[in-house]
Amino acid sequence: MSKMIVQALETTTTAHSVPATTSKGRVGALPIGYDACVHRLEAAVADVAVVTFLWTYSALHVAHVAGRDLALVRSIAAIPLFAIVVASTVVGALAGLVASLVLRHVDWRPGPARRLLWWSIGLFAATMALLP
Amino acid sequence: MSAGVLRALEHVHGHLAWLSTLALYHPAILLRRPRRRALGAALSATVLVTATAALGALVYPAYRALVKPALFAASPAIGNLFERKENLGVGAVALAWAGLVHHLFADRRGADARAGNVAFVAFAGAAAFATLAAVMGVIVSVERSF
């Protein structure tokens, strides 16, 4: 029975392989399997964290420009820039933590992540350009 | 800190900013190809931009007290440029770290390799933000310094 399980796992992890290039130009066949899934989850967590950071930073910056700083954010540091950076980092990290729990059980597709990040970068840039 | 030390730190910050800006273009260019590995370039660029931001944060409280009021009094437009530069610098650091983490952990091997090319987007955004921040920094420092 255990031999069958091991064989099944080996089949799962080595059934598909694609060539991969490195910065040295080497080409090798790398398996797709559990390892790749774990890697993808960690990358997804990074995506969620940075997008949340950019949106939170933009929102807190707009609030600061409008003179409506949140009391909680104001209490972090005397200098608003530092307070907004710390608050956005905490919110981004929490979002990443939640994503690591939620996406573990979801068949997550990374396709939309690239578009979402482009839009988030655009939003951040537009906010800073219009509201210094 | 004395005015001389602050001025020296400000100069180092400015030079490091341009160096890290150029360094950020390296992974951005290499990672256009999703299956390419560029760990050294990604790591060094991220470390450089983080060091630049750390140095800026070290100088910022003194700059805010001594230079910023005079900068806004002399030219509000350039004062606002300084504010934009600070925020874009923060964005560049965040995107560089996201790009590095994504490059370390993304699955570059499967059918999702193309979609997983988020590291390129992150480093391209970081390079663009860093370029804008560096140019704005030069304009601001020409106007007023320690």
For chain B, how many structural domains are there in total?
1
For chain A, how many structural domains are there in total?
2
Judgement on whether residues A27 and A41 belong to the same structural domain of the protein: no
Sorting pLDDT into bands at 50, 70 and 90, what band is A105? confident
Judgement on whether residues A126 and A104 belong to the same structural domain of the protein: yes
Q: Looking at residues B56-64, what average pLDDT do you find?
A: 95
Judgement on whether residues A43 and A98 belong to the same structural domain of the protein: yes
pLDDT in tens, B9-53: 999 999 999 999 999 999 999 998 878 888 999 999 999 999 999
Judgement on whether residues A12 and A44 belong to the same structural domain of the protein: no
pLDDT of B99 higher than 50: yes
pLDDT at residue A109 in the model: 63
pLDDT at residue A108 in the model: 60
**Full-model pTM:** 0.84
pLDDT at residue B109 in the model: 61
Judgement on whether residues A96 and A111 belong to the same structural domain of the protein: yes
Average pLDDT, chain B: 91
pLDDT in tens, A16-35: 444 445 445 444 444 445 55
Judgement on whether residues A9 and A37 belong to the same structural domain of the protein: no
Mutation site for B-interface testing, chosen from A64, A81, A91, A131 by largest number of B Cβ within 10 Å: A81
Judgement on whether residues A22 and A83 belong to the same structural domain of the protein: no
Which residues fall within 8 angstroms of residue A94, CB to CB, at 6 or more apart? none
Chain A residues whose beta carbon lies within 8 Å of the beta carbon of residue B30: 23
Please give the residue that has the higher pLDDT: either A90 or A11.
Answer: A90
pLDDT at residue B46 in the model: 98
Q: Supply the DSSP string of B82-97, one letter for each residue.
A: HHHHHHHHHHHHHHHH
Domain extent, residue B126, equals 3-143
Q: Are B107 and A16 an interchain contact pair (Cβ–Cβ within 8 Å)?
A: no
Q: Give the whole-angstrom CA distance, residue A108 versus residue B38.
A: 25
Judgement on whether residues A21 and A71 belong to the same structural domain of the protein: no
Domain extent, residue A105, equals 33-130
Judgement on whether residues A59 and A120 belong to the same structural domain of the protein: yes
Judgement on whether residues A5 and A59 belong to the same structural domain of the protein: no
